[in-house]
Chain A
Amino acid sequence: MSTVTSTDARSASRDALDRARVIAATVTDPEMPMLTLEDLGVLRGVEERHGTIEVTITPTYSGCPAMATMRDDLVHALHDHGYADVRVRVSLSPAWSSDWISERGRTLLVEHGLSAPSAVAASGAGPGGPTPLNLLPTRRAITCPRCGSTEIELVSEFGSTACKAQYRCTVCLDPFDHVKEI
């Protein structure tokens, strides 16, 4: 009988962990609430350790001020679903890359008027070795998320949050944010 009980307990714990993963995957980004932390690639894992649910997240930028809110939101979401013991770990390595934004996330960005990042490899910034100096404005093959025009111009490499650049469409004249390649 004891074997059966322990198998049941393991299976219950497995279910609890699976549910915790589903719940964590619904928590959204505080700045871009149309994206979940999973879509953004910030949610790196949900594990169970000695009865504690351990959620791992990674910052987009070193100074990202949304980290504390992300941690709180994860803890609250899991508390609300009956998980009393929740710990959020920050993982610095491997460093977040905009390449980790999911396809669903990219579609949602565009649907909400933002331009999604291109692949990092294509932007010339690779790992290792000296980073080449770039004296000309970064050229990105992007389109206006509102009208689809390719006639766009860079306003500033720095936008409303650390992860965005500002662009303007010269056809529909709307400004828009581009999530930067990093």
Chain B
Amino acid sequence: MTDHDMKDIKDNAYDGLLGGDDSQWAFGTDFEDPLAGVDTTIADGVDAAALAAYCLMLGDDALISSHRLAQWCSNAPDLEDDIALSNISLDLLGQARLLLARAAAADPTVVPTLPEGSPVPAEDALAFFRVEAGFRNVRFVEPENGDFAETVARLVVFSTYRLALLERLRDSQDAVLAAIAVKGVKEVAYHRDYAARWFLTLARGTEESRRRLVAGLARIWPLYDELFWAHPVEETVAAQQTGVDPSGLAAEVDVVLEQVFSVSGVDRPEVPQVGRVGAGAGGSGRHGRHTEAMGPLLAEMQSVARAHPAGRW
């Protein structure tokens, strides 16, 4: 028997849970930093504050989308799709963790201040202790899931958008973002294939499945245009070749979606788009202006961490 096994047996089992070997636990140790040991040096000429703000944008898109998809766990139409949506949620959560940790490493001032001695790592402080206006995700990922068809419609669009974005981000001058993008492309390609196949299946399935799909697509579509609005931070990182200007993605995303729509025999929705919020404020999700769905989402996602700001999990 090895030394550490012996120690585990001699000590009170519950002492072992929180004392001594922190590396066993999921939260509250720097060993768990998803970027532990990754070189997070920022290249010369790169605006660290803009880079951090940009990482929050892409990280929040993944985090909020992941949270919504996780709400399907135990609720999907069948076990296979329950597992599929949970797997997709997990991939996006992994991307969110890396991106939020990258934001914190690039500019530590983005991380909310917690009581002294709090064991909460930066990525969790960002996820659980920012207020709604601090989140930079596009509004597209926030609304409630709706039925399975609406979730499929949203996932087709979001994964097509994110795949096009990550494919370009592979060339980022920031080595960490480039590495996150290379992994993300492989994952999101699976997500898009999954969602697009279900889109086709529902469109060509029964009258009811098609009715629900078309209705779901119309419900998600009013927030489509915002995906391609460039925030000043996105323009800055694009100019510095660390990030991607989303206005350059629209044509490619449209082509892929048109392919899905035409095979499915579904028309691209013609519904009015939700505009910017606030007079002249340029208000969008990227500015921290969100839909009504965001508050309840954060209340659920953040409640446990906020109730125990010094908690160890």
Contact = CB atoms under 8 A, between A and B. Distances in A.
A36 interface: no
Q: Across chains A and B, which 5 residue pairs bring their CB atoms closest together, nearest first? A: A63-B94, A89-B37, A62-B94, A92-B179, A158-B84
B271 interface: no
A65 interface: yes
B238 interface: no
B263 A135 contact: yes
Nearest to B176: A92
Interface residues of A, number: 47
Contacts, number: 133
Interface stretch (A3-11, A26-34, A68-76): A68-76
Interface in A123-155: 125, 127-131, 133-138, 155
Interface residues of B, number: 57
Nearest to B98: A62
Contacts of A91: 37-38
A65 B174 CA distance: 25
B3 A79 contact: yes
B90 A162 contact: yes
22 contacts: A62-B98, A62-B183, A62-B187, A68-B23, A68-B31, A71-B31, A80-B2, A90-B35, A90-B37, A91-B38, A92-B98, A125-B186, A131-B185, A134-B193, A134-B196, A135-B197, A156-B80, A156-B83, A158-B83, A162-B87, A180-B190, A182-B186
Contacts of B34: 67, 90
Contact of B184 (A62, A94, A127): A62
Contacts of B189: 125, 131
A95 B183 contact: yes
Interface in B252-294: 252, 256, 259-260, 263
Interface of A: 56, 59, 61-65, 67-68, 71-72, 75-76, 79-80, 87-96, 125, 127-131, 133-138, 155-160, 162, 166, 180, 182
B194 A90 contact: no
B164 A130 contact: yes
Contacts of B176: 92
Contacts of A157: 84, 190, 193-194
Interface in B25-80: 26, 31-32, 34-38, 80
Given A65-B90, A90-B37, A166-B83, 14 more contacts: A59-B183, A79-B4, A80-B3, A88-B36, A90-B34, A93-B179, A129-B167, A130-B167, A131-B163, A135-B193, A135-B200, A158-B80, A162-B91, A166-B80
